[in-house]
Amino acid sequence: MDAFHYEGGHLFCEKTAIADLARTYGTPLYVYSQSSILETLRALQTAFAEVDPLICYSVKANSNLGLLKLMAEHGSGFDVVSGGELERVVRAGGLASRSVFAGVGKTDLEIADGIRAGVLMFNVESEEELQAIGRVAAGLGRVAPIALRVNPDVDPRTHRYISTGKKESKFGMDVERALRAATEAASIPSIRMIGVHMHIGSQITSTEPYAGAVAKGVELIAQLRKLGHPIEWYNMGGGYGISYRGNEARPVEEFAQVIVPGIKAAGCRLAIEPGRVIAGNAGILVSRVIYTKQSGEKRFLIQDAAMNDLIRPALYESYHRIWPVESNVPLGQEAGLQSWDVVGPVCESGDFLAKDRELPRISPGELLAVFSAGAYGMVMASNYNTRPRAAEVLVDGANARLVRRRETVDDLLRPELDVFV
């Protein structure tokens, strides 16, 4: 059963009524399903089992400490892109030795923190970064394990903002440059090159881009070994898409089918960095309607979740299913609906969660659920318009636990008040 489902016209997360959570914790509220997270984690472990995968959950998708702790307890490693994300992993009980450190702009301080924490490897994105890691590691008297991030120049056929594997993107190095970097690395004693990394984009809903990418890496790994690098890991990044509208996502087994043969051919262990596929459909954003309003032919549903809570619609024009939390009209029914723009209170015309959306009749005071909001939702939330960020709740069956309290205006003002004269 889908973790989020209607029973008798009420929306539930597992065995917990969403309306009860909204009453207890207020709105806007992010609600996550523990069983959904763990099911996807297990599905990935099973799909890639043949190549002994290390699943490095991509912390950027949802970095809540409660979720990281849950995943660490179930064997997950982590993919981090900043010193802050590494700190989150460690504080949540995750192991740095099962974590990879990516990102195009690692500072010396972040590199040193990563080395001291004992990360499994740094995903190196440029020749200058390679030099920096070598220098920092030598200064600490350590040898830093690294993987070269290679840009395979494949088109992942996704939104241009989340496409990362084409040669015009800022990420990784093309194959020729990677080979030059590998030659350079061979003479840096404080670096040990143990892997190759690729991440071609996010919300990918076909397997072909992976098939093309994985083959390029197999060839490169052979060349790197000839240069003397002991390549043990092939990290294929993340990117598996989820269903935002209906069932556009491919099952993870299909991605495994095109990736696993390449990993075997390369004689490597597989690391993957899934984010969205684990957290995306495991979370919803719950909001409460404040007002309804008509302007010309347009009807606006003004509710208390705004672009500062969920920026994806404004940023990528992305689609999220939205439906009342309490409704006798089944989700997805098409007859007898009204068209609404679902907007928030922020002073921007870009502040919308949906445009021209067909919804059942709904009135001020009622609750709305914005589905598939578990990934790239709360992590991108801001305090724009001095709006405190939402609370987050993790549901396990009939139990719900607050994993982040709602911010207060005082929390927001504190760094300024501390130096206010």
Active site residues: 347
- Scored b (16 or more CB within 10 A) or e, 188-206 reads bebbbbbbbbbbbbbbbbb
CB 343 within 8 A of CB 302: yes
Question: Rounded to whole angstroms, how far apart are CA atoms 43 and 278?
Answer: 10
DSSP string for residues in 35-97: HHHHHHHHHHHHHTGGG--EEEEEGGG---HHHHHHHHHTT-EEEESSHHHHHHHHHTT--GG
Closest CA to 250 of 241, 259, 258, 239: 241
Question: Rounded to whole angstroms, how far apart are CA atoms 167 and 151?
Answer: 6
Looking at the Cβ atoms of 28 and 280, the one nearer to ligand PLP is 280
Q: How far is the CB of 129 from ligand PLP (least distance, A)?
A: 14
Q: What is the DSSP letter of 2?
A: -
Q: How far is the CB of 282 from ligand PLP (least distance, A)?
A: 12
Q: How far is the CB of 162 from ligand PLP (least distance, A)?
A: 6
Looking at the Cβ atoms of 33 and 62, the one nearer to ligand PLP is 62
Looking at the Cβ atoms of 16 and 203, the one nearer to ligand PLP is 203
Closest CA to 341 of 330, 351, 355, 329: 355
Let me know if 402 is exposed, middle or buried by CB neighbors in 10 A (0-12, 13-18, 19+): middle
Looking at the Cβ atoms of 368 and 378, the one nearer to ligand PLP is 378
Q: How far is the CB of 172 from ligand PLP (least distance, A)?
A: 9
Secondary element (H or E) of residue 183: helix 175-185
Backbone angles phi, psi at 348, to 5 degrees: -150, 140
Backbone angles phi, psi at 316, to 5 degrees: -115, 5
Looking at the Cβ atoms of 58 and 151, the one nearer to ligand PLP is 58
Q: What is the DSSP letter of 13?
A: E
Q: How far is the CB of 200 from ligand PLP (least distance, A)?
A: 9
CB 352 within 8 A of CB 310: no
Q: How far is the CB of 308 from ligand PLP (least distance, A)?
A: 21
Residue linked to tokens 């080395």? 115
Q: How far is the CB of 160 from ligand PLP (least distance, A)?
A: 13
Looking at the Cβ atoms of 92 and 150, the one nearer to ligand PLP is 150
Closest residue by beta carbon to ligand PLP: 238
Looking at the Cβ atoms of 61 and 362, the one nearer to ligand PLP is 61
Distances in Å between the Cα of 219 and the Cα atoms of 263, 265, 360 are 11, 10, 55
Q: How far is the CB of 231 from ligand PLP (least distance, A)?
A: 18
Residues that bind ligand PLP (CB under 6 A): 58, 60-61, 79, 102, 164, 199, 202, 237-240, 273-277, 375
Looking at the Cβ atoms of 16 and 164, the one nearer to ligand PLP is 164
* Structure tokens belonging to residue 120: 């499994």
Centroid of chain to Cα 288 = 26
Rg of the chain over CA atoms, in angstroms? 23
